[in-house]
Homo-oligomer: A and B are copies of this chain.
Amino acid sequence: MAKPPNPARRSESSRQAILAATGELCSQVGYGRLTIEAIAARAGVSKKTIYRWWPSKGAVVLELLGETATIATAPPDTGDLAADLHTMLTEIVDILTRDSAGTGVISEALNDPDLARDLRERLIQPGIDAFKQRLRRAQDAGRLHPDADLDVALDLLYGPIYHRMALHLGMPGPAYLGSLITHALRALTPPTPH
């Protein structure tokens, strides 16, 4: 029945227009008030064209985020672990602070399992992999305890950001971020030999 469209014949210009319109509207009215109807109108595109390629507005914004993001790239490695972590965390904070697209997709995904899966697979997991990769290097360099659980590390470092976002406790500034990193590393670092 549901015959999937042929991606080869897809109009790239329409795709671009849709993502552009989505971005503009999202900054103007916020993710909550964003509608497919408005995106189509602003992009000069048929609603059908949007529904042909995306299952929901969340999926469109997700793709927009993927377009913009530098997240999934290789982690920075300056040799200074704390500084690199600071860079990585700051990027997430920026995304969640910049406009409502980031928090919007996260909020939508909380009620939409399909979107949640896409979000995790396309944006989150690559970021996690990069993070772990960087930490493993630090571990190899003896900077972290050799038995340190990297999942725990992930939670300790990224957790505070999402905690503060979810409960509106104020996004962490650079200094506070530094403090968090210090504490987290202390939990993961082998006791300094005296």
Contact = CB atoms under 8 A, between A and B. Distances in A.
Contacts of A194: 194
A110 B103 contact: yes
> Chain A interface: which size bin?
35 or more
B104 A110 contact: yes
Copies per complex of this chain: 4
A interface: dominant SS: helix
Nearest to A192: B191
Contact of A162 (B120, B167, B186): B167
Given A106-B110, A163-B162, A194-B194, A156 B184 contact: yes
Interface string A164-194: 1111110010001001100110111001001
